[in-house]
Amino acid sequence: MPSLILGLFRRLFRRLSGRDPLATLVRRGLVVGRNFYMQDGCVIDACHCWHITIGDDVTLGPNVTILAHDASTKRALGYVRLGKVAIGHRVFIGADSIVLPGVKIGSDVIIGAGSVVTADIPAGSLAAGNPARVLGTTADYLARQQALLASSPCFGEAYTLRANVSASRKNEMNAKMGDGPGFIV
């Protein structure tokens, strides 16, 4: 609960103070499409954000980092290496993932949590790992999840933090899920 309150306070402070990091990045040249959502703790390379393009309907999970520069060359070569980053439409990048300079992620891609994306990921792919590699197609993954959804417990809005989920509902969720998965709106 305290982290929820802290997150809400941070968002409120940003709005009231005019210090919206995303708005600052966009003013500096970051290109972001419609319905872009980044969860708490995300880092988008503020020093070189104008080299980053993000498409429509993109979600960044918590603590995702997107870099457009690599300073490892600065001391030895006197220059920092730059690389454009392009993220397509309808992309989900899982928690704690890192996207490195020069990477293109196609549309309709899911990147698994904790991945380090060092090379291009083609459209319609499910990728994960360090370094991230293509594990299959997004369509196949979503078909498997759709089948699992039919036999798993599903929970509505009342079971979310934004609806102030009660302790009894939390216990109910855990009991219904048992050792398997569940799904929530």
Query: Are 86 and 176 found together in one domain?
Result: no
144 belongs to a structural domain: no
Query: Are 80 and 109 found together in one domain?
Result: yes
| H/E element, 126 | strand 125-129
CATH code where residue 64 lies: 2.160.10.10
Angle at 115 between CA 14 and CA 91, to 5 degrees: 65
More confident position, 44 or 19: 44
Tell me how far apart the alpha carbons of residues 86 and 73 are, in angstroms, rounded to a whole number: 22
Residue 112: give the domain boundaries: 2-137
pLDDT in tens, 152-182: 999 999 999 999 999 999 999 999 999 999 9
Tell me how far apart the alpha carbons of residues 179 and 81 are, in angstroms, rounded to a whole number: 47
84 belongs to a structural domain: yes
Query: Are 118 and 61 found together in one domain?
Result: yes
pTM of the model: 0.86
How sure is the predictor about 17, in pLDDT bands with cuts at 50, 70 and 90?
very low
Instruction: Specify whether 69 is catalytic.
Output: yes
pLDDT in tens, 39-62: 999 999 999 999 999 999 999 999
143 belongs to a structural domain: no
Query: Are 42 and 98 found together in one domain?
Result: yes
Query: Are 105 and 177 found together in one domain?
Result: no
Q: Which two tokens stand for residue 182?
A: 């569940």
pLDDT of res. 81? 97
Query: Are 61 and 131 found together in one domain?
Result: yes
Q: Report the pLDDT averaged over residues 1-10.
A: 64
pLDDT value at 15 more than 70: no
Q: Where is average pLDDT lowest: 20-34, 89-103, 115-129?
A: 20-34
pLDDT in tens, 67-107: 999 999 999 999 999 999 999 999 999 999 999 999 999 99
pLDDT of res. 18? 46
142 belongs to a structural domain: no
Query: Are 160 and 115 found together in one domain?
Result: no
Query: Are 106 and 170 found together in one domain?
Result: no
pLDDT value at 16 more than 60: no
Query: Are 84 and 128 found together in one domain?
Result: yes
145 belongs to a structural domain: no
Query: Are 170 and 99 found together in one domain?
Result: no
Query: Are 10 and 90 found together in one domain?
Result: yes
Check: CB of residue 7 under 8 Å from CB of residue 164.
no
Catalytic one of 48, 51, 69, 89:
69
Number of domains in the chain: 2
Query: Are 166 and 119 found together in one domain?
Result: no
